[in-house]
Amino acid sequence: MADPSRIAIVDYRMGNLRSVQKAVEHVGGEAYIISTPDEIASADKLILPGVGAFGDAMRFLNELKLSDPIRAFVGSGRPMLGVCLGMQLLFDGSEEDAPGDAPENAGDGLVPGLGILPGRVVRFNEDRGGQRLKVPQMGWNALHWERPDPLMEGLDQGSAVYFVHSYYAQPADESVVSTRADYGGDFCASVHKDNLFAMQFHPEKSQRVGMKILTNFVGLSR
């Protein structure tokens, strides 16, 4: 029988694993680190974290043979959460030109992602919205709800969370967007589709609001 409090965190050499693990444990979950296809297949819930370059992340996922198991996990209906780079990897591809990925960029100019959600990941324009932006965006920003999301239950409109990113997702299907934030214009801050959840911000660094989001994820049942 699945244990909703057991959370597997994927180690693919790009994640802020320990901070995510400690945050999940702080809200009453049982978090453990995994790194093999079999461990993904047998997990009750999954978190895909990530910090760094998109191309490197996909290279490691493919080398470790984790890409297909992650896709299969989402298809199984079990809850999965992507965080920061882990959110971006869910999409078709990214404009981020990581070293060594030039051959894969041919055609649409994207480094291929997991392709679980249609859409692309694009870079903030420093002159976006008629103002000079600092890129990456680093710091607190307010969330604005687009539609209900089980992970956001109990939070107020305008709740602040912590971002560190130069790129953001542009979903092809706007119906998956659950929250937006403003940085020289609106951008997608989180998505929700069925059992799949993802957020560009770091819940583990977002204090009370982040802990509430993780509490909601721990409490999800399939």
Give phi and psi for 186, each to the nearest 5: -65, 145
pTM, entire model: 0.93
pLDDT in tens, 79-103: 999 999 999 999 999 999 644 444 4
Pairing of strands 80-83, 46-48: parallel
What mean pLDDT is predicted for residues 176-182? 98
The single residue of 84, 165, 188, 192 carrying the catalytic annotation is 84
Contact 66, 73 (CB under 8 A): no
- Give catalytic status of residue 202 as yes or no: yes
Region 16-21: what's the mean pLDDT? Answer: 93
* Separation in Å, CA 189 to CA 113, 122, 198: 18, 13, 9
pLDDT over threshold 80, residue 2: no
Question: Is the per-residue pLDDT at 147 higher than 60?
Answer: yes
Provide the pLDDT for residue 127: 83
For this structure, is 204 an active site residue? yes
Q: Report the C-alpha gap between 214 and 216 in whole angstroms.
A: 5
Residue 188 has pLDDT above 50, yes or no: yes
- For position 197, what pLDDT does the model report? 98
Tokens 């299907």, located at residue: 173
Looking at residue 98, what is its pLDDT? 46
pLDDT at 206: 98
Domain ranges across the chain: 6-218
**178 neighbors 143 (Cβ within 8 angstroms):** no
Mean pLDDT over residues 112-131, rounded?
A: 91
- Exposed, middle or buried: residue 71 (CB in 10 Å: 0-12, 13-18, 19+)? middle
**From the candidates 96, 165, 188, 204, which is the catalytic residue?**
204
Return the pLDDT at 152: 97
Where does the pLDDT of residue 116 fall: very low under 50, low under 70, confident under 90, or very high at 90 and above?
very high
Is 26 catalytic? The answer is no
Q: How deeply is 209 buried, as exposed, middle or buried, from its count of CB atoms within 10 A (0-12, 13-18, 19+)?
A: buried
pLDDT of residue 161 exceeding 50, the answer is: yes
Least confident of 123-132, 148-157, 172-181, 208-217: 123-132
Cα–Cα distance for residue pair 14/23, rounded to 1 Å: 18
Res 114 pLDDT > 50? yes
Instruction: Give 16's pLDDT tier (boundaries 50, 70, 90).
Output: confident
Collapsing DSSP states into helix, strand and coil, what is residue 118?
strand
Dist CA 126 CA 136 (whole Å): 9
What's 6-218's CATH class? alpha beta
Q: Please give the C-alpha separations between residue 177 and each of 68, 94, 111, in angstroms, as whole numbers.
A: 24, 18, 22
32 pairs with which residues across the strands? 8
DSSP string, 162-204: EEEESEEEEESSGGGEEEEEESSSEEEEEEEETTEEEESSBGG
